[in-house]
Structure 1
Amino acid sequence: MKKDTKENTVLKYVFIPIAYSTFAIKMNEKIEWKILPEKQTIGKYLCQKAEGSYGGRIWNAWFTSEVPISDGPYIFSGLPGLIIKITDDQGDYDFELVQIKDFKWKELYPAKYQKLISWEDFQKIQTDFYNNPLSTLKKGDILNEDASGTLSEANHRDVKESIRKNIRSKNNPIELNYKVDFKTN
């Protein structure tokens, strides 16, 4: 993820295993916040609650105007103060401020991406990988080792289904509106 607050742009970096490449998706969805009257203290900050919709989820944010930065974790921004805590309504995601430090910004790990892609491109790449996760491998590339250390060729059908099962079990993206519903065969 790369935020440019001056340009008001956010790029989400995604790694595609089948291509062993990182791509970027420009995040364009704007969050319409509804500021609510509820207040509470989180850590040392007096916070106010706001509700917004992003990625097919409803988000509850707690922000403080004591830190006059209109930003927060991930793509979340646009409130009159720093977002201290934000959770989705399903309880799947929970971000909370741990520390504020004064530092000069530099990219610690500047991400390099192969190209800018759309959500539709990303969904197609995900679907292609799910349908054929072993497409870049040749027969004999996947080996099993038994208890005695003897190597034998793995059953590709079993390996493929194991990978697909793993993909399905972790298929809970922040952006539910772009979620690919992977089918079992």
Structure 2
Amino acid sequence: MKKTLAVFLLLLFTTVFSQTKRFIYELGIVLNGKEKKMNMVLDIDKDFVKFYDYKFLEMDSISKKTGQNWQANTLSDQLIIRKANSFENQSFHDNMYDYFVINSTDKMNWKIGTETKKADQYTLQKATTNFGGREWTAWFSTEIPFQEGPYKFKGLPGLIFELSDVNNDFKYKLIKNINIPENYSTLNFLETHYGNKPIPVSLKQYHKVKLDYYADPVKDMSNSLKSGGTVIISGEKITTQDQLDQKKKHLQSMIKQYYNPIEKDKAIPYPAT
């Protein structure tokens, strides 16, 4: 844990909570048999809790410096907003040219154990829960009195420092905290996706969108090819429908290989190979 985390308690009780308390987590996700690491952001202010890819912050910073609209898409598919002290989540999903939001209630039943360990000067306590079709272990500290954590995980009597599922498909570790002297606006990339307002959908409706795309991921390219347009995929020029059909099969395979939903009980029901 970085030294900036060590002074957090002092800052917590000597600053006015008109700020954003920002916690940076390292997230490891297993995709196609390999672990991919990225940083994620947990922002807490007096009204809302937000969780999103750190890449959005990087692009937001560049946009503010250059006056240009630099954009990013989520790599984690873990974009969350909830009201403070609430289990009512809004999860946002970008999909090609569309942006969707799904509402859900995600209260968790934690079993708090007696096992503890140290992280720098903090004492962490173990807790477990079942959520999303996975078994989870969390390590939290009552010394930082936010009942929050990564993604939808909350409800423990302290901030979650570490979190992982039983198969280690998802591993979160708190690596840094920052105090922002104002409520940090995420309006450009979270509440909207660079001007694209989210479309409210049910889980079933969202599944249909994803399954329709999976059924024909080269549909637009096929139409372009038929009308005499140029189709280039990964630097390769496609000139026949047979070539495009091969790319279609490859894309369908890649979609399934790199799909590892955090909530398995809400997984998109892609057809078996």
TM-score range for the pair, normalised by the shorter chain length: 0.7 to 0.9
Of Structure 1 and Structure 2, the greater helix share is in 2
Residue 121 of structure 2 corresponds to residue 35 of structure 1 = no
Alignment check: 8 A CA contact 2:89 2:106 kept: no
2:175 counterpart SS class: coil
1:126–1:36 CA distance, 2 compared to 1 (3 A): same
Alignment check: 8 A CA contact 2:238 2:244 kept: no
- Match in the other structure for 2:261: 173
Given candidates 93, 100, 118, the residue that maps to 2:177 is 100
- Match in the other structure for 2:270: 182
- Match in the other structure for 1:56: 133
Given candidates 133, 136, 139, the residue that maps to 2:217 is 133
Alignment check: 8 A CA contact 1:85 1:94 kept: yes
Structure with the bigger RCO (C-alpha within 8 Å, sep 6+) is 2
1:87 counterpart SS class: strand
Residue 90 of structure 2 corresponds to residue 11 of structure 1 = yes
Q: Quick one: which amino acid aligns to residue 87 of structure 1?
A: S
Partner deviation per Cα, 1:67-120 (whole Å, 9 max, x = no partner): 011001111100000000000111100011111222233124343143211111
- Match in the other structure for 2:232: 143
Residue segments in structure 1 that go unaligned for 5+ positions in a row = none
Structure 1 residue 26 displacement after superposition:
1.2
CA RMSD, 1 decimal:
2.0
Alignment check: 8 A CA contact 1:70 1:82 kept: yes
Q: Quick one: which amino acid aligns to residue 47 of structure 1?
A: L
TM-score (norm 1): 0.87
Distance 1:125 1:152 in 2: 26
Alignment check: 8 A CA contact 2:99 2:198 kept: yes
In percent, how many aligned pairs have the same letter? 25
Residue segments in structure 2 that go unaligned for 5+ positions in a row = 1-79
Q: Quick one: which amino acid aligns to residue 143 of structure 1?
A: I
Alignment check: 8 A CA contact 1:123 1:178 kept: no
Partner deviation per Cα, 1:47-86 (whole Å, 9 max, x = no partner): 1000011111111000000001100111110000000000
